[in-house]
Structure 1
């Protein structure tokens, strides 16, 4: 959808004290000419039809007035004081008395909560913890469950995270906040963690969000999803958009049977490049670089619905809680609510090298961090310059002790090392696929736009060497040599790297104007990759499994699912066809041959 850039910049500059980022706040309402653009769309929406999304605190207040008693629950990171003030102003206009009951008053003392949380936060200087195994209610005193409406007031409201724990037989209004906005608020120190009155360093707050807050709040949201009467989007400090639960359910059900695309978001980084800045419209071009695009990292992406131009975003896990069988088909029993495949961009074009790194083995990530699956990755080269390369696998004569000593000395002295003495470097070309099962030493070199096709976990990167540079805040990034050496597979070296870690494309189907190319993944990968290449159109069966797709060559394609849903996608846009779609047709609507990557579970 087309959005007025001037309006976006005004929105961005309005709230610098509330959100620390150079990325724009998604508008609450579409402006300008609507319609699918020919280029990459940073605000993809799922239309619901007219009259489904309402805007403004006054309309929500009218709903509450009719209901008389409500529970206003929501995710962590909501500006609860602003919500209360806006609603109170609406009630004042109608001279109504309100009994406000704040969930924060029922939180256990900070010391008790800190003691409960501490075992899941790991070492103070570590960026990792372990996923919490207690419940949201454990943060509260029993009195929260003993609240009752007071008949002396016109309106009774329990407000705050955990409001549904009060147990009233009253409608739940749930306020969602996108994960990227939570992080922007966290960095601005305008919010803090559950049950913690003090702000901390951003990496410490993020660690607590990831391993504690989000675990508790996702489970709580799942527990109450069928009781929610109103879903609201609270990412805008001065307004709110909301919809009735039955319309949300219908929208999620439609997406789960046809096609969906999450809202991507973008971040600069120490090694970031210029490809996304140069090729994707609507982004703030004043940033120094862009390193990542969260194309489909679903623990932190949302789905955006649209009605009458009004937008409303819900976290992706909402569709997994309600429709995981439709999404994953025959693999739902294995993965449950967890969407197992991720797509993201690593932009080193006119940028720098990623750190030399590896990822944890399956048993290691399960035992140490509480994850279910590990970070088995691939690098698909979407675009690159003539000098691009990828670091992958060890040299034949690698001596682990010498390698570790060199890394530790570099870490202590700040002196650069010749990493190619230890790690192989490979020329990267457009459409190459490099295989990175857990334990493999690797890095994306400068000059690439990498489409990272991977299992979903995404923060468990053990950096060994970071080119003795500082991050964008002028600080060294954490180096994790001990973790890395607990996981490195030193058998992935020499000729074995070329044989086993660089995919060898195979044409497995062909017809005039069409071929299906298999890009085999490693035996450790639980997903596989195909590339559909066609001049006009091709029809694909889902075979009761989910497909994650991207147009990697060409301008645009039109997708039509078996139920008649049609959606156009541009170059480099990620989209998902759920298992329940049954089949879909892709039509090339640009010039030249279209090439579409398809990742799917084995």
Structure 2
């Protein structure tokens, strides 16, 4: 059996170009409709099929390039997947422009297309859409991320594998508003609503980690103390119907953003990232259930209005997240967990609704950390480069690169390759996730 794979971002490009159709369909549709059907029907169906045939596959092939096909025997791919599930890996990111997109990534990340109008997102680790790339003698072969979870998900997730199964629960992505615009005013569904209406096991509980920002950068978060929900809804509906500008700060609070701040955005929280930020969004990984309420009267890059979901939003908004509650409970207050001669470990507490937690380690030379039988997702957020040593494998990661240490690695060492202090953010699943059960 030969398995022919196509990267999921390539599938999306082909959908937008009208070059392919959904499974079971004999016609194309607009890109957004095809993507939604692919996410909820095609990919889950194909993943279920993949699970049934995994042990029968003899050859894996990457068919994204018209002029050539990279392939490898399954013995070598499965051996590589096993090693990745016990050591360290980085998925292949991909980048997308957007209505509010900025210029930070274009200026700071090598080899990106400088002719693109902007980059709004980097899909650093949104694994329903990422691939993993193998290399041999300068030949590259890409497979969808699903294979590592289908093969060795328990190695990756450790003690949380029974709950999450083959779903990888944590996402890292960049939101670039540097010289761009504000994100829409939005919220995400509460957990019961997600399960009842969308069939997802988890919802999107976010955090915004400020990787970089200008002096005037801000984050919109939570309601003003005197919020009147009916008045707010009327203002939003009039804006949508009559194209009227809304004085958002009459209803929603804003906070100055500073490098290394962590803003907490549990489900139901009204929020937005303001312009002139480079946000590392640390989040959970269901489908993009973002209920936009106000989008600053702008159009998307195709000149079309962006979707507004006021009714969905008002069934989920937490109007009690207002006033002092926001500054007290939704802006993380770092505390020292442990320290040594040239290193210090900070805890950046998340909200009770978040099933994951965040820490930051700052070190001059090197530090060894334990996975505690939980998957660790990390990024170098300050410094030039670090070397990761784990179970005999050595890998180097640059500033702003995301990488994953599976639970089965047990422990790993970070070595600072730069002259200044290195700062690494680490996200991991909390010891108890009973509130999800």
- The verdict on a shared fold, with TM-score over 0.5 as the criterion, is yes
2:170 pairs with 1:320: no
Query: Residues of 2 paired with 1:601 and 1:415: CA distance?
Result: 43
2:396 pairs with 1:578: no
Partner of 1:597: 425
Residue number among 425, 432, 442 corresponding to 2:254 in the alignment = 425
For 1:469-527, what per-residue CA distance to the aligned partner results, in whole angstroms no more than 9, with x for missing partners? Answer: 00000000000000000100000000000000000010111122110000000000000
Give 1:36-185 correspondences, 5 Å limit. Answer: 172-185=1-14
Residue number among 223, 239, 249 corresponding to 2:78 in the alignment = 249
Gaps in structure 2 of 5+ consecutive residues:
431-437
Query: Residues of 1 paired with 2:147 and 2:45: CA distance?
Result: 14
Partner of 1:294: 123
Q: Which moved more, 1:452-461 or 1:531-540?
A: 452-461
2:416 pairs with 1:588: yes
Count of residues in correspondence between the two structures: 430
Partner of 1:566: 394
Deviation at 1:458, TM superposition (A): 4.3
For 1:373-403, what per-residue CA distance to the aligned partner results, in whole angstroms no more than 9, with x for missing partners? Answer: 1000000000000000000000000000000
Query: Residues of 2 paired with 1:453 and 1:354: CA distance?
Result: 16
TM-score normalised by length of structure 2: 0.98
2:69 pairs with 1:258: no
TM-score normalised by length of structure 1: 0.71
Query: Residues of 2 paired with 1:457 and 1:465: CA distance?
Result: 22
Partner of 1:44: none
Deviation at 1:366, TM superposition (A): 1.1
Give 1:324-339 correspondences, 5 Å limit. Answer: 324-339=153-168
Query: Residues of 2 paired with 1:412 and 1:361: CA distance?
Result: 27
2:384 pairs with 1:555: yes
Query: Residues of 2 paired with 1:204 and 1:173: CA distance?
Result: 30
Residue number among 52, 73, 76 corresponding to 1:223 in the alignment = 52
Partner of 1:41: none
Q: Which moved more, 1:483-492 or 1:219-228?
A: 219-228
2:319 pairs with 1:484: no
Aligned to 1:210, what secondary structure does the other structure show?
A: helix
Aligned to 1:300, what secondary structure does the other structure show?
A: coil
Q: Name the structure where strand makes up a greater proportion of residues.
A: 2
Query: Residues of 1 paired with 2:281 and 2:93: CA distance?
Result: 14
Aligned to 2:49, what secondary structure does the other structure show?
A: helix
Deviation at 1:202, TM superposition (A): 1.1
Aligned to 1:345, what secondary structure does the other structure show?
A: strand
Partner of 2:330: 501
Aligned to 1:313, what secondary structure does the other structure show?
A: strand
Partner of 1:73: none
Alignment RMSD (CA, Å): 0.6
2:68 pairs with 1:232: no
Aligned to 2:128, what secondary structure does the other structure show?
A: helix
Query: Residues of 2 paired with 1:245 and 1:508: CA distance?
Result: 44
Query: Residues of 2 paired with 1:292 and 1:222: CA distance?
Result: 31
Aligned to 1:575, what secondary structure does the other structure show?
A: strand
